[in-house]
């Protein structure tokens, strides 16, 4: 009996030592797998036992890339009105007389980042149920929800026309982008076939491609972005099917142009052009005509699974609007709310720099410890955690982790947000250890030009934490 008690006592006493010895493997991974000139910060916290498991330069400031989206989403989800959908509405003033709207029509933007062709058509179908076929007035877009800055602070100007850098506006149509699909011809040297969606006369297309012809030069998607033009240019050698998204200059104009175009296609005689003004809400003659709602969970899923920058900025803008009650908000209004939560979690906001909601900015600086504290906060609040956890990419399964962590023990176990930028790679989220404990973690690699090396390191760290 004494021997049994002694063994039990020794095993209990040695558990922390075994755990420490196990996690010391991460120190070896840092030395073996990362370039000498690179840096990394790591924070690992046992949510079940409520204690830290491992820290390596956890307070070190790093550029977060898209793990910045965790702070934006968690702060937005913490509000009591977080469940309100993103809304786009159509109103009119004046009166309807003899098949004619004697007044103006207003499309009011609510920064819905998932407003697509289906939403546009649905909105128009509602409008045409009203008893008029002529608009004897103006058609206006109302983008007064946000200031006129169409890019975030510190975004790179030459990242346009890439689809991941949208032109921000409360009225967004198909994310302000056009998806271009290119299919090579069956005959070598022929021009490739190109299709675009959504269809709109707002943009034009120039096809300078050749099928399986190396002399045609390197394949590329672009547009005349230096002059703020919307002529899409596809050129070069096409050897296989190619697809990409190109952003369109002036998102609200793209929305309103297409709205008018499709309204006329339904037989409505409308004015030849549109303008922008704020809906006169105090008028007794203003009447709501149509609306389109997008759920928070849908926006959140796209934000996290596909690391959608527009969706993150939409959350940030709406966060500022909900918190301040302002008619017109700026990114700073949302950032102030994130800073408030940082303080509530026991950190000094002055120790960090937040410039946008999505992580595209070169000016963002966070620490692994801060990311983990946000993950701990979300975990401690069931409503927030359920929405967040459902939206995170799953290792080896979907989103930005679809092609990683294909084997045990990380497969289907890691639910985390990725972040990548030139020489930057980060991963932060949740996993379950072999002993059943839930864990929050953040790994922030800096100065690693090889993203593959950083990702391989992160995957190995996750496997080490989980245990085999």
Q: Cα torsion at 318, 320, 326, 331 (round to 10°)?
A: -100
Residue 305 has pLDDT above 90, yes or no: yes
Position 284 confidence tier, pLDDT thresholds 50, 70, 90: low
Query: Could you report the per-residue pLDDT of 71-100, keeping only the tens digit for each?
Result: 999 999 999 999 999 999 999 999 999 999
Where are the extended beta strands (E) located within 202-286? 204-211, 220-223, 231-238, 242-247, 275-276
**Residues β-bridged to residue 90:** 107, 290
Query: Could you report the per-residue pLDDT of 110-123, keeping only the tens digit for each?
Result: 999 999 999 999 99
Give residue limits of the domains in the chain. 22-82+298-466, 86-148+252-291, 157-247
Where are the extended beta strands (E) located within 255-394? 275-276, 287-294
CB-CB contact of 150 with 251 (8 Å): yes
Structure tokens given for 75:
């702060």
* CATH 3.30.1330.40 is held by the domain 22-82+298-466: no
What does the pLDDT read at residue 281?
77
CB-CB contact of 167 with 161 (8 Å): no
What does the pLDDT read at residue 285?
80
Residue 214, SS3 per DSSP: helix
* Enclosing H/E stretch for 442: strand 438-446
What is the CA 453 to chain-centroid distance, rounded? 24
Residue 19 has pLDDT above 50, yes or no: no
What rounded mean pLDDT belongs to the chain?
A: 94
Q: Are 22-82+298-466 and 86-148+252-291 in the same CATH fold?
A: no
Query: Could you report the per-residue pLDDT of 307-324, keeping only the tens digit for each?
Result: 999 999 999 999 999 999
Query: Reading across the β-sheet that carries 100-102, which strands appear in turn?
Result: 95-97, 100-102, 134-135
Residues shown for the chain: 468
Provide the total of helices (H) and of strands (E) in the chain, helices listed first: 11, 19
With pLDDT > 70 as the criterion, what percentage of the chain qualifies? 95
Domain 86-148+252-291: assigned CATH number: 3.50.80.20
Where are the extended beta strands (E) located within 73-230? 86-92, 95-97, 100-102, 105-108, 134-135, 139-142, 177-183, 193-197, 204-211, 220-223
């Amino acid at each position: 009996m004494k021997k049994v008690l002694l063994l039990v006592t020794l095993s209990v006493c040695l558990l922390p030592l075994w755990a420490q010895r196990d996690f010391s493997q991460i120190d070896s991974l840092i030395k073996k797998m990362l370039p000498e000139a690179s840096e990394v910060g790591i924070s690992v916290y046992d949510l079940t036992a409520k204690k830290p498991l491992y820290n390596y330069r956890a307070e070190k400031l790093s550029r977060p890339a898209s793990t910045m989206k965790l702070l934006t989403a968690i702060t937005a989800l913490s509000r009591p009105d977080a469940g309100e959908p993103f809304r786009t509405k159509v109103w009119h003033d004046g009166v309807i007389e003899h098949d004619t709207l004697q007044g103006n029509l207003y499309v009011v933007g609510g920064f819905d980042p998932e407003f697509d062709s289906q939403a546009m058509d649905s909105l128009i179908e509602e409008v045409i149920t009203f008893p008029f076929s002529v608009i004897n007035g103006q058609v206006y877009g109302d983008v007064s929800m946000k200031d006129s800055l169409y890019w975030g602070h510190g975004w790179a100007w030459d990242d346009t026309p890439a689809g991941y850098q949208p032109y921000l506006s409360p009225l967004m149509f198909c994310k302000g982008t056009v998806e271009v699909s290119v299919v090579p011809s069956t005959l070598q040297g022929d021009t490739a076939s190109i299709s675009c969606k959504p269809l709109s006369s707002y943009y034009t297309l120039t096809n300078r491609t050749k099928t399986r012809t190396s002399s045609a030069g390197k394949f590329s998607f672009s547009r005349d972005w230096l002059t703020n033009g919307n002529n899409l240019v596809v050129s070069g050698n096409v050897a296989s099917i190619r697809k990409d998204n190109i952003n369109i200059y002036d998102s609200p104009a793209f929305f309103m142009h297409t709205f008018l175009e499709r309204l006329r296609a339904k037989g409505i005689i409308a004015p030849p052009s549109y303008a922008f003004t704020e809906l006169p809400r105090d008028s007794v003659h203003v009447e709501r005509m149509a609306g389109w709602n997008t759920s928070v969970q849908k926006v959140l899923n796209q934000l996290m699974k596909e690391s959608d920058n527009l969706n993150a900025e939409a959350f940030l803008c709406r966060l500022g609007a909900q918190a301040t009650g302002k008619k017109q908000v700026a990114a700073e209004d949302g950032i102030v709310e994130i800073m408030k939560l940082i303080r509530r979690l026991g950190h000094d906001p002055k120790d960090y720099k937040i410039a946008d909601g999505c992580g595209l900015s070169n000016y963002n600086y966070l620490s692994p410890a801060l990311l983990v504290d946000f993950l701990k906060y979300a975990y401690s609040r069931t409503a927030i955690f359920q929405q967040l956890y459902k939206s995170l990419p799953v290792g080896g399964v979907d989103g930005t982790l679809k092609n990683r962590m294909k084997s045990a023990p990380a497969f289907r176990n890691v639910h985390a947000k990725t972040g990548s930028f030139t020489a930057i790679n980060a991963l932060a989220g949740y996993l379950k250890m072999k002993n059943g404990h839930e864990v929050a973690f953040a790994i922030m690699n800096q100065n690693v030009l090889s993203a593959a090396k950083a990702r391989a390191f992160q995957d190995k760290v996750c496997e080490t934490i989980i245990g085999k």
